[in-house]
Amino acid sequence: MDQYTLNLLVVGATFALYIGIAVWARAGSTSEFYAAGRGVHPVTNGMATAADWMSAASFISMAGLIAFGGYGASSFLMGWTGGYVLLALLLAPYLRKFGKFTVPEFIGDRFYSPTARLVAVICLIVASVTYVIGQMTGVGVAFSRFLEVSNSTGLFIGAGVVFLYAVLGGMKGITYTQVAQYCVLITAYTIPAIFISLQLTGNPIPGLGLFSTHAASGEPLLGRLNEVVQELGFGAYTEQDGTPSSVINMTLFTFSLMIGTAGLPHVIIRFFTVPRVADARWSAGWALVFIALLYLTAPAVGAMARLNLVDTIYPNGTTEQPLAYADRPEWISNWEVTGLLSFEDKNGDGLIQWYNDGDEAFAATAAERGWQGSELTVNRDILVLANPEIAGLPGWVIALVAAGGLAAALSTAAGLLLAISSAVSHDLIKGQLNPNISEKGELLAARIAMAVAIAVATYLGLNPPGFAAQTVALAFGLAAASIFPALMMGIFMKRINNKGAVAGMLAGLIFTLVYIFLHKGWFFIPGTASFPDTIQGSLFGIQSTAIGSVGAILNFAVAYFVSNATEDTPEEIKALVESVRIPRGAGAAAADH
């Protein structure tokens, strides 16, 4: 059976499974659409949360960033994992005890203000739409290669599948679909990693293989990787750029990812689906276990993929003898068709030179060899998907990875779209525009809102502002600057009033958005830019992906000073905050919420 047919069978089977689950778990009420009827078991919810959280950025893009960025890209691992711990400890149990359907509903009630609820809706939509662009980018990357269609066609197919199971099933359908998607994505991620670790080190556990001996050279694997990348003018793989701006950006970026993770509405609403507060805590623990299976494997996948890529281009064990383009392996030809990998013979010698042509120290060596610039361009998002092909693994593994990448992107996209539709139907329409809307009308509005959100996400996915993980990082920054501070202050600071909360959220969101657009040089039209991805203006050299930390600090500061300059919080709201934080709610008493 040829690879294309195998890909169609495996991906088609998983899609049929997702749609079948959605039909079986069709939502018949707003409670089932928004919170799966609050009847999800903690283990099931933990697995669904892991799938919801491990997006295309985690599955497709993160290992690619680690492969090319080395130590510097470890911010993604530390930030996302640390942020989940913050969410589990500081937010999830308290928000579940509050007993509402959505994040804006909590903010509106806690800060006793329809305006605060509306601002929270805006913040949620901005962050979630930015996030979902990254997922649609991942869908396009996977489809364009494995189903041999254009990137845009792949996006439309993915959007259609999400439409069928998300609009039909709501949170109830999405929950059980995400359980299936987790099983697919974790299997697809770990099996190739085990094969490749065995090939390179003889160790079947990728995380241990990363620190084992490279079989071909007899050197430690990371030592061999450091050696070959430095021979090509790249920085040492295991060392950080020690410049002050790099250290500041890495620190702020990690912190931004942490608090952005803790403020992600589509993950938070997963904790509204369990029966009790205690179940929310157990869900968080189980989710961390399921997440760790991928995150402990990702560094090995990135490092081994980078080493395999170098060995492919320089197959004779020396970086002085590159591969002839005419002798390129089939996987390069396959990915060239997608446009995500390209070769330009700049010196006309027919060989593939791939090196860091921006490194001044290596420029003299390149000139001596007759090299006139790096000739291979590799989109980082392809590395995990191409990894089995680079390593020469069986066709069924390649098909499984295709299904896993799509499962990761679609699971998170569905969660994000549900968060957006819930905010529009429950918080905007029922909470602001038409409080007397019937349950049937609200359910219809939720489905229409989700359909519109899918259409907008697909359009924006055709013109993404960066790699999947880069786009997602911007979304985390927006959530960090706007939603996370409001939730933290709402739970732990009684003195913060409605005026302070609104002012803080607006200050954090506007500052972060404006900075991103100035830093990136974008116009306010999707898909266009006044300049490429370069710094057009920055504050102390802080990158746009790291500015969410500063936005969060600004949010806290503005909320604090405005609250202390205006009237005190009403006593009934202080009592509400106190009741949310009482530990006894973790028992049977919470079952009524």
Q: What is the pLDDT of residue 527?
A: 46
Give 220's pLDDT tier (boundaries 50, 70, 90).
very high
Q: In the chain, where are the structural domains located?
A: 3-223+248-304+395-476, 308-389
Average pLDDT over residues 515-531: 56
pLDDT digits 0-9 by tens, 381-426: 788 888 888 888 888 888 888 888 888 877 877 788 888 888 888 8
Q: Residue by residue, what is the 3-state secondary structure of 406-439?
A: HHHHHHHHHHHHHHHHHHHHHHHHHHHHCCCCCH
Task: Please tell me the least confidently modeled range out of 266-280, 383-397, 575-589.
Answer: 575-589
CB atoms within 10 A of CB 505: 25
Query: How many Å apart are CA 30 and CA 492, to the nearest integer?
Result: 30
pLDDT at residue 334 tops 90 = no
Q: What is the pLDDT of residue 352?
A: 94
Question: Which of 568, 540, 580, 502 lies closest to 120 in space, CA to CA?
Answer: 502
Q: Residue by residue, what is the 3-state secondary structure of 111-164?
A: CCCHHHHHHHHHHHHHHHHHHHHHHHHHHHHHHHHHCCCCHHHHHHHHHHHHHH
Claim: this prediction has a pTM higher than 0.85: no
**92-106, 202-216, 262-276, 327-341 — which one is most confidently predicted on average?**
202-216
**31-45, 99-113, 319-333, 467-481 — which one is most confidently predicted on average?**
319-333
Question: Which of 587, 491, 30, 592 lies closest to 280 in space, CA to CA?
Answer: 587
Q: What is the pLDDT of residue 511?
A: 93
Q: What is the pLDDT of residue 471?
A: 66
pLDDT digits 0-9 by tens, 131-154: 777 777 777 777 777 777 777 887
pLDDT digits 0-9 by tens, 224-255: 999 999 999 998 898 876 565 678 888 888 99
Between these two residues, 472 and 119, which has the higher pLDDT value?
A: 119
CATH superfamily of 3-223+248-304+395-476: Sodium/glucose cotransporter (1.20.1730.10)
For Cα atoms 376, 229, 391, give the angle at the middle one, nearest 5 degrees: 65
Give 33's pLDDT tier (boundaries 50, 70, 90).
confident
pLDDT at residue 124 tops 60 = yes
- E-strand stretches of 222-354: 341-343
* DSSP one-letter string for 57-111: IIIIIHHHHHHHHGGGGHHHHHHHHHHHHHIIIIIHHHHHHHT-SSHHHHHHHHT
Buried-exposed string 573-591: b where 16+ CB fall within 10 A, e elsewhere: beebbeebeeeebbeeebe
Q: What percentage of the chain exceeds 90 in pLDDT?
A: 32
Cβ atoms 394, 191 nearer than 8 A: no
Q: Which residue has the tokens 């089995």?
A: 388
Q: What is the pLDDT of residue 488?
A: 94
Question: Which of 234, 60, 47 lies closest to 137 in space, CA to CA?
Answer: 60
Between these two residues, 171 and 390, which has the higher pLDDT value?
A: 390
What sign results for the dihedral spanned by CA atoms 199, 203, 209, 214? negative
Q: What is the pLDDT of residue 169?
A: 66
The two three-digit tokens of residue 429, written as one number: 């329409």
State whether residue 276 is helix, strand or coil.
Answer: coil
Between these two residues, 498 and 407, which has the higher pLDDT value?
A: 498
pLDDT at residue 302 tops 70 = yes
Q: What is the pLDDT of residue 520?
A: 65
For Cα atoms 576, 581, 582, give the angle at the middle one, nearest 5 degrees: 100
φ/ψ (deg, to 5) at 376: -115, 125
State how far the alpha carbon of 450 is from the alpha carbons of 25, 115, 316, 412, 420, in Å.
Answer: 17, 23, 53, 14, 7
Tell me which H or E stretch contains 206: helix 206-209
pLDDT digits 0-9 by tens, 430-457: 888 888 888 888 888 888 888 888 888 8
Give 536's pLDDT tier (boundaries 50, 70, 90).
very low
Q: What is the pLDDT of residue 525?
A: 44
Between these two residues, 553 and 533, which has the higher pLDDT value?
A: 553
Q: What is the pLDDT of residue 585?
A: 44
Cβ atoms 62, 469 nearer than 8 A: yes
Give the chain's mean pLDDT: 84
CB atoms within 10 A of CB 183: 16
